[in-house]
């Protein structure tokens, strides 16, 4: 696994980039801030061996070829390889501005915004995913962990686009995020698609506007450990 201080080579431009700090880690890999040889700041995602499959490499390559459907998506720009020969691969994407906040920060009250910002955020999210779907693509994992926004304007940036695929054709191991998955996916009756994206987006927008899940209501505010009900 690569680490801060290591260098990577960008497949198309031939540029090199140095990893300067770890931004975050997930089930698929780690994301670093990187500085390219021309001074450009980028985000670099490096896959863990179990996630860095040939299929995933092909999927990222296709996304790079297609280009972003809209500038609000932090889209894969180039595949990367470690300059020291470390096995594996990753990709670079635009780096999220420092003044953008995670959507979860708004939902937990860490970032306070006005209703006009909430409305702008909701409208832009709906429009961004419309543009994605218009190109015949589906996102597959819409949730508040994948959205950042400008607290002053409400303009969103959507990350984790490496599971985006052609609706009804390309497959992925990602089914979605708990509470956002459409019922037919939970039952394993269907695969993620543009249609199930709309269910997830509706849940997301309800969270943004009402600060709760549309199907849980008051139950979401009652800790399970405090409940007097005992299931048989």
- The full set of domains in the chain, from first to last, is 7-94 (3.30.200.20), 101-214 (1.10.510.10)
Phi and psi angles of residue 26, each rounded to the nearest 5 degrees, phi first: -145, -170
In total, the chain counts a number of residues equal to 232
Chain-centre distance for alpha carbon 10: 21
Confidence of residue 222 (pLDDT cuts 50, 70, 90): low
Q: Using the predicted structure, report yes or no on whether residue 56 has a pLDDT greater than 50.
A: yes
The predicted pLDDT at position 216 comes to: 77
Structure tokens, 12: 């198309």
Rounded CA-CA distance 71/16 in Å is 24
Residue with tokens 């400008």: 150
Which uninterrupted H or E stretch holds 230? none
Which residues have C-beta within 8 Å of that of residue 158, sequence separation ≥ 6? 72, 73, 74, 125, 128, 139, 146, 147
Average the pLDDT over 196-203 and give the result: 97
Residue 14 CB-density burial (10 A; 0-12 exposed, 13-18 middle, 19+ buried): exposed
Q: How far apart are CA 59 and CA 215, in angstroms?
A: 34
pLDDT at 214: 82
pLDDT at 228: 40
State mean pLDDT over 191-198. 95
- Could you report the per-residue pLDDT of 60-79, keeping only the tens digit for each? 999 999 999 999 999 999 99
pLDDT at 219: 63
């Amino acid at each position: 696994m690569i680490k801060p201080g290591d260098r990577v080579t960008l497949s198309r431009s031939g540029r090199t980039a140095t990893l300067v700090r770890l931004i975050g880690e997930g089930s698929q890999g780690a994301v670093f801030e990187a500085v390219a040889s021309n001074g450009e700041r980028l985000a670099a995602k490096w896959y863990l061996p179990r996630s860095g499959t040939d299929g995933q490499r092909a999927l990222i390559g296709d996304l790079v070829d297609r280009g972003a459907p809209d500038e609000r998506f932090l889209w894969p720009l180039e595949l990367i390889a470690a300059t020291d020969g470390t096995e594996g691969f990753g990709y670079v994407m635009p780096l999220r501005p420092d003044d953008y906040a995670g959507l979860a920060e708004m939902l937990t009250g860490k970032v306070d915004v006005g209703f006009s910002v909430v409305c702008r955020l909701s409208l832009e999210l709906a429009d961004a995913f419309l543009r994605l779907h218009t190109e015949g693509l589906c996102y597959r994992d819409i949730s508040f962990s994948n959205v950042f926004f400008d607290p002053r304007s409400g303009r969103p940036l959507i990350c984790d686009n490496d599971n985006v695929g052609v609706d009804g054709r390309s497959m992925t191991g990602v089914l979605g995020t708990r509470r956002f998955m459409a019922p037919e996916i939970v039952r394993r009756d269907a695969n993620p698609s543009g249609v199930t994206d709309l269910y997830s987006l509706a849940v997301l927008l309800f969270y943004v506007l009402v600060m709760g899940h549309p199907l849980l209501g008051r139950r979401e505010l009652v800790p399970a450990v405090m409940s007097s009900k005992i299931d048989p």
